[in-house]
A and B are shown apart, each in its own frame.
Chain A
Amino acid sequence: MTAGEHIPQEDLALYAMHSLSADESAAIRAHLETCAECRAAVAEYSGDIALVALSVDQHTPPDGARERLMNRIAADAANPESNVVAIDAKPVNKVYASIQWSLVAAMIVLSFALLLKIGSLRIEMRQQAALIQQQSAQTARAQQILDLLTSKSAQHVALTAAQAHPQPTGRAVYLASSGSLYFQANNLAALPAGKTYELWVIPASGAAPVPAGLFQPDATGNASVILPPLPTGVPAKAFGVTMEQAQGSATPTAPILLVGAAAGE
């Protein structure tokens, strides 16, 4: 582009959309400072952008968002030092005033940049916090599995098929105090369509069996249930496996395919 030429309309549209590289945008920005015609075109495209933005599905802001904004504004209003522009009422000469206004303008731009930078940093902090939380949860889960497998108090139970030919086997490790359970099964028969295996904890108290997870064997007949959600403090006298409908069942359906009594019960 040479002096006197206008920016192609396609580039002005992309400029308005922030779809150009930084270098391309800077070149157009410089041109716009002296070209009212191109500025008008960018304004038209910005109007179009507003319309396209309108096409999004409408959502209500999260609960508390309004209150958080108002609290921030109240805090800002209570602290006049944070105001962006300070007005100096003293008379100044023309050159000095020009310099002052330039400084004020620069400060406004700087303040905006800082405000937006703070916003970006807050978003990055939120992402980092989410990552740390996820990693902490994974570490806690691994530690819980380790505690379960190494605990001397854990009940180790071997489950065998209740049928005459007990090829399928299962092994459960259970810590009643924390409700932790690790279960591994082998040589399971493939499931019919719409069916699932379900593991049960049979309480020592004689209460109803507690569902301890649905599972399906892989191609070699192996399956596992690791740390299913269970109540704590429920000593077990046995564990069982039944075949249920795919969505699982609240009570076991006969026959019990695998069963194992807990040692010491």
Chain B
Amino acid sequence: MSENLPNPQQAPERTDNSASGRAREAGSERVKDEALLERVAANDQSAMAEFFDRYGGLVYSIALRVLKDSGHAEDLMQEIFFQVWKKPESFVPGRGSLGAWLAVVTRNRAVDVLRRRKPDDPVDDVVLVSKTNLASEVERSSMMEKVRQVLDSLPVEQQKSVELAFFEGLTHAEIAAKTGDPLGTVKTRIRTALISVRKAIQA
């Protein structure tokens, strides 16, 4: 079954990198995402294989960055994809891109695992505003470079706060205790960093 499915990573590289080309591609991929989820909802196992081929690397990479252990990262990846299989309606088309939704759910779940927090927080109600479509490798790679540039350009204190909160999973109170900075300062730095990323991408 799954062995016969095409692997998107082996697909011919796209050469149209113009803005209009990317827009067409993003729109096309968004439609494919929605169609894919409809097939998943219809218990089409081959659709899950395609879904994994498209987003497995993204989910695994984020889980690995936070958990720093390949075994734990795969466990989390498996759980997230299995949840999509069991409940594909968790993602509501039109609220944002599927890739962005997966990125947030993965990052938040990984932090929950780090903190051994009870997994009954309603993060599966994640709703996000995202104008980016991460289904395309080209779009994803381009966006990754932009975000990295923004993060690298942030003041060191902001970078450190984002690292501790985002990837180390510390609460703002833990960050304040660790760095010796006031709570309000930590909060402002984290929000400012997020806004900086948003503005840079929207620019």
Among A52, A66, A113, A115, residue most surrounded by chain B Cβ atoms (within 10 Å):
A52
- The interface residues of chain A lying within 8 Å CB-to-CB of B77 are 61, 65
**Residue B36, interface by CB 8 Å:** no
Q: Is B179 an interface residue (CB 8 A)?
A: no
Inter-chain contacts of A113 with B (CB < 8 A): 118-120
Q: Which of A14-22, A134-142, A239-247 contacts B (4 or more CB under 8 A)?
A: A14-22
Binary interface encoding of chain A residues 154-185 relative to chain B, with 1 for a CB under 8 A from any of its CBs, else 0: 00000000000000000000000000000000
Q: How far is the CA of A84 from the CA of B187 in the complex (A)?
A: 39
Contact with B along A101-142 (1 / 0, CB 8 A): 000000011011101111110110010000000000000000
A13 & B191 in contact (Cβ 8 Å cutoff): yes
- Give the A-B contact count at a CB cut-off of 8 A: 223
Given contacts A20-B172, A55-B144, A61-B77, contact A116 B109 (CB under 8 A): yes
A93 to chain B, nearest CB (A): 26
CA distance A44 to B162 in the complex (A): 17
In terms of DSSP, what is the predominant structure of the interface of chain A? Answer: helix
Question: Given A13-B191, A72-B82, are A66 and B121 neighbors across the interface (CB < 8 Å)?
Answer: no
**Is the CB–CB distance between A115 and B187 below 8 Å?**
no
- Beyond A18-B108, A25-B121, A126-B75, whether A44 also contacts B187 by CB under 8 A is no
Q: How long is the Cα–Cα vector from A69 to B108 in the complex, in angstroms?
A: 21
Q: Is A10 part of the binding interface, using a Cβ–Cβ cutoff of 8 Å?
A: yes
B30 adjacent to chain A (CB < 8 Å): no
Is residue B138 contacting chain A, with contact meaning CB distance below 8 A? no
Interface size of B as a range: 35 or more
SS class, residues of chain B in contact with chain A:
helix
The 8 Å CB contact of B127, one of A17, A46, A58, A126, is A46
B45: Cβ under 8 A from any A Cβ: yes
Is there contact, CB below 8 Å, between B147 and A55? yes
Chain A: minimal CB distance from B119 (Å): 3
Contacts of B71 in A (CB 8 A): 123, 126
Q: Are A65 and B78 in contact (CB under 8 A)?
A: yes
Closest chain A residue, CB of each to CB of B169 = A18
Report the bound CA distance from A117 to B117 in whole Å.
Answer: 10
Structural contact, B190 and A10, CB atoms closer than 8 A: yes
Given known pairs A56-B61, A116-B79, A116-B109, the reply for A50 and B151 (CB within 8 Å) is: no
In the complex, which residues of chain B have a beta carbon less than 8 angstroms from the beta carbon of A69? 48, 52, 78, 81-82
Q: Are B119 and A120 in contact (CB under 8 A)?
A: yes
CA distance A234 to B113 in the complex (A): 50
Question: A residues engaging B (CB < 8 A)?
Answer: 9-11, 13-14, 17-22, 25, 29, 39-40, 42-62, 65-70, 72-74, 76-77, 83-84, 108-109, 111-113, 115-120, 122-123, 126
| Interface, chain B (partner A; CB < 8 A) | 1-2, 43, 45, 48-49, 52-53, 56-58, 60-62, 64-65, 70-72, 74-79, 81-83, 85-87, 95-96, 99-101, 103-104, 106-109, 111-113, 116-124, 126-132, 134, 140, 143-144, 147-148, 151, 162, 165-166, 169-173, 175, 184, 187-188, 190-191, 193-195, 197-198, 201
List 20 additional A-B contacts (Cβ < 8 Å) besides A14-B187, A59-B60, A112-B124. A10-B187, A13-B194, A17-B108, A18-B112, A39-B127, A40-B129, A43-B96, A47-B131, A48-B198, A51-B132, A53-B104, A54-B103, A54-B134, A58-B58, A58-B61, A61-B77, A70-B48, A72-B82, A120-B116, A126-B71
